[in-house]
């Protein structure tokens, strides 16, 4: 139930749950299909424990005292997590494990006391919701030995991922091993996005999987076992069910399936167009015209964002670029300048500026002292209202400029709900937390906005310019959808079905083939564990939140654009300086998780339902254009073996 998100990207077991090929012409029909309505989980569900004590006054006194202690424990736990994640030493790991033990003890005590009350019969709905938030214990239910084992495995997997380094590509085997120190966030990302050398990309792609996921397979099996044990002790069938419970809806999985089916034809159009362009570069001996696309040539280690292929896929390459990277460099903008520009967008809406402590304590670039740290971008809430921080090894390019807005969206949420009771200091659901910064970034990415703030010199205000902009957005947003969907469908299955454990890697590639239409360039085996080469799997971060976010951020964008008086197409809308849009957003952010997410959604959009329609509306001109670029018989993929490209 609304697990607390003190550290976005790291709600690991360490803190504990308590607080811490369809054809294109079908598109028109699909767009009109009804959207989904969540079926709320009933509080009377036996997973939410309650007792006999009917004294509501005593219950309120308990909550008040618990709140004070919870905030103290939270600060201590987050500090220990931060120290470890920003400096991966054995000492910091041990301190973290000790803090986790204390936090688990407190969680148990809280749970024990909270569930002695007959809170389901209390008159005040807010108090009932508060107790509901305290009534599921989470991993704290494990005995001390097992909890420590679980926490250590998670810390070690995160460490192994963050320390992963590879050798530069050379046709001959690398003999000088001291060269094998390419970092993920700088060197590897750059090669994956810029190189068009099939063999070089293959080498880096394979090495990354060898030095990360492959090393975690045994640990991961133990991790599944322990998380499932904890989930069962909490009354859930398995850990996947426990994770889904955070969305407080019985129809959650079905609702997502309907939404995925709405998008799939659009994704397949983009896939077919991209495959055709890649065949033109790499040849039919490397990519079959009716096969999946090799996973390593899409510009990103997990093929989750294809925007680095912009130069190959731009519909009208002679028009001015929509990418600001050259300008960031030409204007010599520092990383801090990029953060300041992002902050200005938030404040232009009347939202809160970053705090003094934010600027004092955040780590915005890789420290130069040689320490190992987790560079995957994250936003942190130290539970006192104004100690909020970002940790990110920021690179100076457009992609990272957008990630800055993403992370600042998390910080904005923290600041907006800081006056809520501790138990409600979280997103309405985890997808809301992921959607805030991305929603603003939809405005920021419009060529008109980028010109207004001086980051694009020249723009093309015609339908060709619009299509270039839409393609650049689609390579990020549409390409991501199947990844956002499959990552947790995979894990839900692994948690639910022990028979998958002997074929973890096959199941992973079956999902990659089915949803993304991609294939591995090198034969995979059960010695590999390729899922573990993705940060969120190694670090125990649920992923369906991003799928939810990519849907609702377009719903938010549409609603905020209306509030801002925008009458043009959604893809041109920029809410910059609209106090009305800012106020509407703030109304929801300040609620935290004190209301069910469907009510929060209704406040912004007027509807309680997640819907794919605003996303479809946003991309409509691109969908029409893509239909003119690919024939029906060029859509979709077939492959008889998911473990190797055909």
7/354 with CB nearer ligand X8Z: 7
Select from 18, 142, 403, 584 the one that contacts ligand X8Z (CB under 6 A): 403
Q: Which of 407, 449, 469, 557 is catalytic?
A: 407
CB of 379 to Zn ion, least distance (A): 7
CB of 15 to ligand X8Z, least distance (A): 16
CB of 391 to Zn ion, least distance (A): 12
* CA pair distance 69, 510, nearest whole angstrom: 46
Q: Which of 511, 536, 557, 596 is catalytic?
A: 536
> Hey, is 562 helix, strand or coil?
helix
Using CB under 6 A as the binding rule, whether residue 9 contacts ligand X8Z is answered as yes
The answer to whether 511 is annotated as binding is no
Per DSSP, 257 falls in state H
Q: Which helix (H) or strand (E) holds 388?
A: strand 388-391
The answer to whether 434 is annotated as binding is yes
* CA pair distance 32, 26, nearest whole angstrom: 11
CB of 68 to Zn ion, least distance (A): 29
Using CB under 6 A as the binding rule, whether residue 303 contacts ligand X8Z is answered as no
379/513 with CB nearer Zn ion: 379
CB of 438 to ligand X8Z, least distance (A): 8
* CA pair distance 489, 549, nearest whole angstrom: 16
16/431 with CB nearer ligand X8Z: 431
* CA pair distance 213, 531, nearest whole angstrom: 7
Residue 76 CB neighbour total at 10 angstroms: 16
581, interface contact from ligand X8Z, Zn ion, none, CB < 5-8 Å by kind: none
Q: Which residues pair with 117 in a beta bridge?
A: 53
546, interface contact from ligand X8Z, Zn ion, none, CB < 5-8 Å by kind: ligand X8Z
CB of 406 to Zn ion, least distance (A): 6
* CA pair distance 319, 9, nearest whole angstrom: 38
Q: Which two tokens stand for residue 600?
A: 């929060």
Select from 8, 70, 402, 601 the one that contacts ligand X8Z (CB under 6 A): 8
480/529 with CB nearer Zn ion: 480
7/134 with CB nearer ligand X8Z: 7
CA dihedral angle for residue 487, residue 488, residue 493, residue 498, rounded to 10 degrees: 90
Is position 536 annotated as part of the catalytic site?
yes
Using CB under 6 A as the binding rule, whether residue 297 contacts ligand X8Z is answered as no
229/530 with CB nearer ligand X8Z: 530
Is position 98 annotated as part of the catalytic site?
no
377, interface contact from Zn ion, ligand X8Z, none, CB < 5-8 Å by kind: ligand X8Z
CB of 95 to ligand X8Z, least distance (A): 24
Q: Which two tokens stand for residue 480?
A: 């991501």
The answer to whether 410 is annotated as binding is yes
> Hey, is 434 helix, strand or coil?
helix
**155 and 163 Cβ atoms separated by less than 8 Å:** no
Q: CB-based contacts of 53: which residues, under 8 Å, 6+ apart?
A: 59, 116, 117, 118
8/544 with CB nearer Zn ion: 8
416-455 binders of ligand X8Z (CB under 6 A): none
CA distances from 473 to 308, 310, 322, 426, 447 (A): 11, 10, 10, 28, 11
The answer to whether 296 is annotated as binding is no
* CA pair distance 582, 563, nearest whole angstrom: 9
CB of 383 to ligand X8Z, least distance (A): 19
> Hey, is 593 helix, strand or coil?
coil
Going 162 to 391 to 438 to 41, the CA torsion angle's sign is positive
CA distances from 165 to 181, 183, 511 (A): 5, 5, 27
With CB under 6 A as the rule, give the number of residues binding ligand X8Z.
7
Tokens 């964002």 map to which residue? 305
Using CB under 6 A as the binding rule, whether residue 393 contacts ligand X8Z is answered as no
Q: Which two tokens stand for residue 249?
A: 């809806």
Q: Which helix (H) or strand (E) holds 310?
A: helix 310-313
* CA pair distance 126, 420, nearest whole angstrom: 11
479/645 with CB nearer ligand X8Z: 479
223-242 binders of ligand X8Z (CB under 6 A): none
Q: CB-based contacts of 337: which residues, under 8 Å, 6+ apart?
A: none
Using CB under 6 A as the binding rule, whether residue 220 contacts ligand X8Z is answered as no
Select from 84, 122, 252, 546 the one that contacts ligand X8Z (CB under 6 A): 546
Using CB under 6 A as the binding rule, whether residue 547 contacts ligand X8Z is answered as no
Q: Which residues bind Zn ion (CB under 5 A)?
A: 8, 434
Select from 377, 388, 612, 635 the one that contacts ligand X8Z (CB under 6 A): 377
* CA pair distance 467, 629, nearest whole angstrom: 13
Residues noted as catalytic: 407, 536
Q: Which residues contribute to the annotated binding site for chloride?
A: 247, 545
Q: Which residues contribute to the annotated binding site?
A: 247, 406, 410, 434, 545
Residues that bind ligand X8Z (CB under 6 A): 8-9, 377-378, 403, 406, 546
């Amino acid at each position: 139930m609304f697990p607390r998100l003190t550290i976005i990207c790291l709600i690991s077991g360490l803190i504990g749950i308590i607080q811490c090929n369809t054809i294109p012409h079908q598109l028109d029909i699909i767009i009109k299909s009804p959207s989904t309505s969540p079926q709320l989980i009933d509080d009377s569900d036996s997973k939410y424990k309650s007792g006999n004590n009917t004294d509501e006054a005593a219950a309120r006194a308990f909550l008040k005292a618990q709140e004070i202690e919870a905030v103290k424990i939270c600060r201590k736990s987050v500090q220990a997590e931060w120290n470890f994640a920003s400096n991966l030493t054995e000492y910091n790991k041990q301190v973290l494990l000790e803090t986790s033990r204390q936090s688990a003890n407190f969680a148990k005590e809280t749970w024990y006391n909270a569930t002695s009350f007959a809170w389901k019969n209390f008159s005040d709905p807010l108090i009932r919701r508060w107790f509901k938030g305290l009534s599921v214990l989470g991993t704290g239910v494990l005995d001390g030995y097992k909890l420590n084992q679980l926490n250590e495995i998670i810390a070690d997997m995160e460490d192994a991922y963050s320390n992963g380094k590879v050798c530069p590509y050379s046709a001959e085997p690398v003999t000088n091993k001291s060269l094998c120190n390419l970092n993920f966030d700088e060197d590897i990302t750059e090669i994956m996005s810029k190189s068009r050398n099939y063999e070089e990309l293959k080498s880096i792609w394979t090495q990354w999987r060898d030095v990360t996921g492959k090393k975690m397979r045994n640990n991961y099996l133990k991790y599944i076992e322990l998380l499932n044990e904890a989930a069962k002790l909490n009354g859930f069938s398995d850990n996947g069910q426990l994770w889904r419970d955070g969305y407080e809806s019985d129809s959650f999985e079905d609702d997502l399936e309907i939404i995925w089916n709405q998008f799939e034809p659009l994704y397949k159009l983009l896939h077919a167009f991209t495959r055709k362009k890649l065949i033109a570069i790499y040849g039919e001996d490397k990519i079959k015209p009716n096969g999946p696309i090799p996973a390593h040539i899409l510009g990103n280690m997990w093929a989750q964002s294809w925007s680095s292929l912009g130069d190959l896929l731009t519909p009208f390459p002679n028009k001015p670029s929509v990418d600001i990277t050259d300008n960031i460099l030409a204007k010599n903008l520092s990383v801090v300048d990029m953060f300041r520009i992002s902050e200005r967008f938030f404040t232009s809406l009347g939202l809160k500026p970053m705090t003094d402590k934010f600027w004092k304590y955040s780590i915005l670039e890789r420290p130069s002292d040689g320490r190992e740290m987790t560079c995957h971008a994250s936003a942190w809430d130290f539970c006192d209202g104004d100690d909020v921080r970002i940790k990110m090894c920021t690179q100076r390019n457009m992609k990272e400029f957008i990630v800055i807005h993403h992370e600042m969206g998390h910080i904005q949420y923290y600041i907006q709900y800081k006056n809520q009771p501790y138990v409600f200091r979280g997103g309405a659901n985890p997808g809301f937390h992921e959607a805030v910064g991305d929603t603003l970034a939809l405005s920021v990415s419009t060529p008109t906005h980028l010109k207004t703030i001086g980051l694009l010199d020249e723009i093309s205000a015609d339908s060709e310019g619009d299509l270039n902009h839409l393609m650049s957005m689609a390579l990020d947003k549409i390409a991501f959808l199947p990844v956002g969907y499959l990552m947790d469908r995979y894990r839900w299955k692994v948690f639910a079905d022990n028979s998958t454990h002997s074929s973890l890697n096959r199941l992973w590639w079956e999902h990659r083939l089915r949803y993304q239409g991609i294939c591995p360039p090198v034969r995979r085996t059960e010695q590999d564990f390729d899922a573990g080469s993705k940060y969120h799997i190694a670090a125990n971060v649920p992923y369906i939140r991003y799928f939810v976010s990519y849907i609702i951020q377009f719903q938010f964008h549409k609603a905020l654009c209306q509030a801002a008086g925008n009458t043009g197409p959604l893809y041109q809308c920029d809410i910059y300086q609209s106090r009305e849009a800012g106020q509407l957003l703030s109304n929801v952010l300040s609620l935290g998780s004190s209301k069910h997410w469907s009510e929060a959604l209704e406040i912004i959009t007027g509807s309680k339902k997640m819907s794919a329609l605003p996303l479809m509306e946003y991309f409509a001109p691109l969908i029409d254009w893509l239909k003119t670029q690919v024939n029906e018989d060029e859509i979709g993929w077939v492959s008889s073996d998911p473990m190797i490209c055909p």
